[in-house]
Amino acid sequence: MSARSQGTRLARQAGPEASGVGYPGPPSRFSRFIRELRADPARGAIFLFLVAVTFVMLYPFYFMVRNSLMSSQQYVVGHGFSTSSWSQLFSALPVLRELGNSTLIAFFAILIILFCSTTAGFAFAKLAFRGRGIVFIAVIGCMMIPVQSIIVPEYVNLSHFGLINTYASAILVYGALGTPFATFLMTAYFRGLPDEVVEAALCDGLTYGKAYWRIALPLAKPALVTVIVLQFIQIWDDLLVGLLFLQEPTNRTITVGLAALSSGRVVSIPILMAGAIVSALPAIVVYVVFQRYLITGMTLGINR
Amino acid sequence: MGLAVAEVVAGGNRLGRNRARAGILLLVPAVLVVGGFIAVPIGQAIYYSMTNWNGITAQWVGPSTYAALFKNPIFLRVLENNGLLLLSVPVAIGVPLVIASMINEKVWGWRIFRSLIFLPTAISWVVIGIVAVRVFADPGALDSILGAVGLGFLQRDFLSQPGTAILAVGLTFVWSMVGTNTIIFLTGMSTIDPAIYEAAAVDAAGRWAIFAHITIPLLKRYFQFSFVLTIITAFTALFSLIFIMTGGGPNYGTTTLEFFIYLEAFSVGNFGTGAMIGVVLLVILLGVSMIQLWLLRGEH
């Protein structure tokens, strides 16, 4: 009973902070949580529920880290600690080479996507001409076409031009697959820019091309970051295109390399887990740094 | 440069023509890339779907190839697998809806929960699949849980039987949709005017009543978006997951349309059949989008 009244007093002490007078900082936030808990115990259950959900969502990360820190023998018996898998990883998988391949392919594919989507987006949003609507629907409509529906002719076409097992094939295909959605996003963004911005640039003597390059493009930075982040994660994590178009161990991406390691006949789980961590890390870093842009891009389609 | 000013001042046809020329010029890269690598191949896929293409030579057969496909028992099995995956869609929407409404209560640390629950969205299906294999294997994490809660008789290697293997793929799919769908619903909930909730609190409405009568109806658009996204993901994004977890087996038990394309074209060498299944997949997805458009039209 006395403990409870003490708690109430503590909660009351935290009171001024809520009304904006007192001291900021984490302790007061926590004590507000305690006070809320007293007023409404269900919030405690909600908190515990979210802890449980978070545990389930993070389990794979725990699993990968824990098992990568064992030797193959330790994995079999289920306990122990060793960093041997990490040193063996680099001989089992050309990790650095594959990370480099992934980076190079993602970089040039994203360049293609940015160039095509910003030019087209600017034209669709700001440069009226006859037939624009139909071209818009045709380009954006390609968003609906899944890669599996075109992959067979794509493969035959690219092998016809001798591009299978070259970086160019993967770069071109990723570039094309990312362009429709990026164009949709850039068009929406440029439509949000007032027409006066472009007109003012023309009055200053700029051509349309220069208005695009010097005025519209610098203003579109947030949208550009959104496209880069979304496409980077998409390309980095993709398997199918890389699997078909980059079949040599020297030119394949880290995701393809990991899949190959996983389906190999003799596979050491701890080494595989170490490889999985290495392959996942870049995308996770991008996610952590640019989370806000990722969410913007993902939810953009809702209100249209 | 001086000319441009004159044009702007004068306005008229010259300006319009210039603008049109600039517009068309700026569209060239996108149209070439999208046309050459998406539009042309989809046209080829439709044409070659009616031939017996092996990648090099093709003889015209005609639309009867489709009739033959729909009599192929393996193809019907594959369609059934897509149907089974469809059953997981309500779960892949319902679970995140509950999680989102819990996060939206803004208990202590809700921002951290939001970030952590969304984190798996960043990792590839290959990595998810590699871990999932060990969760559903025997012995594996799921078997340990089943043993711990007294359901030891259910313990097995889930990936070795068709029925449990598709269940394992479906569960992994649901798990990986949690982050995305939770964020979609949270975005929706953030658009709801807090005054509505305050009014409900004044009326002493319970948590459940508020959820059922205020939150859910106001999230209609977000339901539709999440519904379409979840189906598209289930039908077109699980290639890597199936490749890693089961390879489409056992006995075609986890082969969906998208995986069947890969098997037919690149394992068997039936490029025409592969292209044809691609067309079927596209038609199904267009159907889903049509349903969504139709639902949205009814609303306005």
Angstroms from A286 CA to nearest CA on chain B: 8
Name the residue with tokens 């009226």.
A128
CA distances, A294 to each of A225, B52, B178, B184, B260 (Å) = 9, 43, 16, 12, 31
Whether residue A36 is found in the same domain as residue A135: no
Total residue length of chain A? 304
DSSP A206: -
Nearest CA to B246 out of B165, B171, B125, B172 is that of B165
SS3 A228: helix
Q: How many Cβ atoms sit within 10 Å of the Cβ of residue A74? A: 17
pLDDT tens for residues B200-222? 878 877 878 888 888 888 888 88
pLDDT tens for residues A115-154? 999 999 999 998 888 888 999 999 999 988 999 999 999 9
Whether residue A184 is found in the same domain as residue A158: yes
Whether residue B36 is found in the same domain as residue B125: no
Domain boundary residue, one of A89, A122, A137: A89
What is residue B299's predicted lDDT score, i.e. its pLDDT? 58
pLDDT tens for residues A146-191? 999 999 999 999 999 999 999 999 999 999 999 999 999 999 999 9
Which residues in chain A have their CB less than 8 angstroms from residue B19's CB?
127-129, 208
Which residues in chain A have their CB less than 8 angstroms from residue B37's CB?
150, 154, 172-173, 175-177
Greater pLDDT, B262 or B8? B262
Tell me, what's the ipTM? 0.86
Domain count for chain A, please give it: 2
Q: How many Cβ atoms sit within 10 Å of the Cβ of residue B199? A: 12
Whether residue B24 is found in the same domain as residue B165: no
Mutate to test the interface with A, among B21, B28, B37 (most CBs of A within 10 A): B37
Whether residue A287 is found in the same domain as residue A236: yes
- Which residue range forms the structural domain that includes residue B215? 88-255
Residue at A71: amino acid letter: S
Residue B11: enclosing H or E segment and its boundaries? none
What is residue B298's predicted lDDT score, i.e. its pLDDT? 60
Domain count for chain B, please give it: 2
What is residue B57's predicted lDDT score, i.e. its pLDDT? 82
8 Å CB contact between A275 and A93: yes
By the CB < 8 Å criterion, does B42 face chain A?
yes
Most confidently modeled range among A28-42, B74-88, B103-117: B74-88
B 90-129 residues with CB below 8 A of A? 99, 102-103, 105, 107-110, 113, 115-129
Whether residue A120 is found in the same domain as residue A56: no
Nearest CA to A262 out of B280, B140, B96, B127 is that of B127
What is residue B18's predicted lDDT score, i.e. its pLDDT? 82
Question: Which residue in chain A has the smallest CA separation from B233?
Answer: A146
Whether residue B120 is found in the same domain as residue B231: yes
Question: Which residue in chain A has the smallest CA separation from B241?
Answer: A239
- Which residue range forms the structural domain that includes residue A213? 90-303
Yes or no, beta carbons of B2 and A205 under 8 Å apart: yes
DSSP B152: G
Average pLDDT over residues B234-259: 91
Whether residue A199 is found in the same domain as residue A248: yes
Whether residue A76 is found in the same domain as residue A172: no
Percent of chain A beyond pLDDT 90?
Answer: 43
Whether residue A184 is found in the same domain as residue A84: no
Mutate to test the interface with B, among A28, A33, A50, A51 (most CBs of B within 10 A): A50
Average pLDDT over residues B97-105: 91
Asked whether residue B63 carries a pLDDT value surpassing 80, the answer given is yes
CATH label of the domain that carries residue B174: 1.10.3720.10
Nearest CA to B130 out of A267, A75, A90 is that of A267
What is residue A303's predicted lDDT score, i.e. its pLDDT? 56
Q: How many Cβ atoms sit within 10 Å of the Cβ of residue B72? A: 11
8 Å CB contact between A188 and A107: no
Average pLDDT over residues B104-124: 89
> Is B274 a member of any domain?
no
Cα–Cα distance for residue pair A268/A261, rounded to 1 Å: 9
Whether residue A150 is found in the same domain as residue A289: yes
By the CB < 8 Å criterion, does B183 face chain A?
yes
Q: Each residue of A47-61: b (16+ CB within 10 Å) or e? A: bebbeebbeebeebb
Whether residue B43 is found in the same domain as residue B167: no
pLDDT tens for residues A79-129? 778 888 888 888 878 889 999 999 999 999 999 999 999 999 999 998 888
Whether residue A173 is found in the same domain as residue A218: yes
Query: Sorting pLDDT into bands at 50, 70 and 90, what band is A301?
Result: low
Most confidently modeled range among A111-120, A213-222, A257-266, B228-237: A111-120
Yes or no, beta carbons of B33 and A149 under 8 Å apart: no
Query: Sorting pLDDT into bands at 50, 70 and 90, what band is A14?
Result: very low
Name the residue with tokens 């629950």.
B117
Angstroms from B151 CA to nearest CA on chain A: 20
A54: Cβ contacts below 8 Å, ≥ 6 apart: B113, B116, B117
Whether residue A269 is found in the same domain as residue A145: yes
Yes or no, beta carbons of B130 and A130 under 8 Å apart: no
Query: Sorting pLDDT into bands at 50, 70 and 90, what band is B6?
Result: very low
A69: Cβ contacts below 8 Å, ≥ 6 apart: A81, A82, A83, A85, A270
Query: Sorting pLDDT into bands at 50, 70 and 90, what band is A24?
Result: low
Mutate to test the interface with B, among A29, A148, A290 (most CBs of B within 10 A): A148
Question: Which residue in chain A has the smallest CA separation from B5?
Answer: A203
Whether residue B11 is found in the same domain as residue B111: no
Query: Sorting pLDDT into bands at 50, 70 and 90, what band is A27?
Result: low
Angstroms from B154 CA to nearest CA on chain A: 21
Whether residue A180 is found in the same domain as residue A218: yes
Taking each helix axis from N to C end, the angle separating A269-298 and B162-190, rounded to the nearest 10 degrees, works out to: 40
What is residue A5's predicted lDDT score, i.e. its pLDDT? 42
Domain boundary residue, one of A57, A89, A121: A89
Query: Sorting pLDDT into bands at 50, 70 and 90, what band is B91?
Result: very high
Partnered with residue A12 across adjacent β-strands are none
**What separation, in Å, do the N-terminal and C-terminal C-alpha atoms of chain A show?**
57
Query: Sorting pLDDT into bands at 50, 70 and 90, what band is B5?
Result: very low
Yes or no, beta carbons of B282 and A149 under 8 Å apart: yes
pLDDT tens for residues B116-145? 999 998 899 999 999 999 889 877 888 888
Q: Each residue of B93-125: b (16+ CB within 10 Å) or e? A: bebbbebbbbbbbebbbbeebbebbbbbbbbbb
Global pTM?
A: 0.85
Of the given ranges (A62-76, A192-206, B150-164, B224-238), which has the lowest mean pLDDT? B150-164
In angstroms and rounded to an integer, the radius of gyration of the C-alpha atoms of chain B is 25
Which residues in chain B have their CB less than 8 angstroms from residue A298's CB?
180, 183-184
What is residue A17's predicted lDDT score, i.e. its pLDDT? 41
Greater pLDDT, A304 or A52? A52
Cα–Cα distance for residue pair B8/B23, rounded to 1 Å: 17
Angstroms from A5 CA to nearest CA on chain B: 22
Partnered with residue B60 across adjacent β-strands are B51
By the CB < 8 Å criterion, does B22 face chain A?
yes
Whether residue A16 is found in the same domain as residue A72: yes
Report chain A's mean pLDDT, rounded to a whole number.
84
Report chain B's mean pLDDT, rounded to a whole number.
87
By the CB < 8 Å criterion, does B130 face chain A?
yes
Asked whether residue B300 carries a pLDDT value surpassing 70, the answer given is no
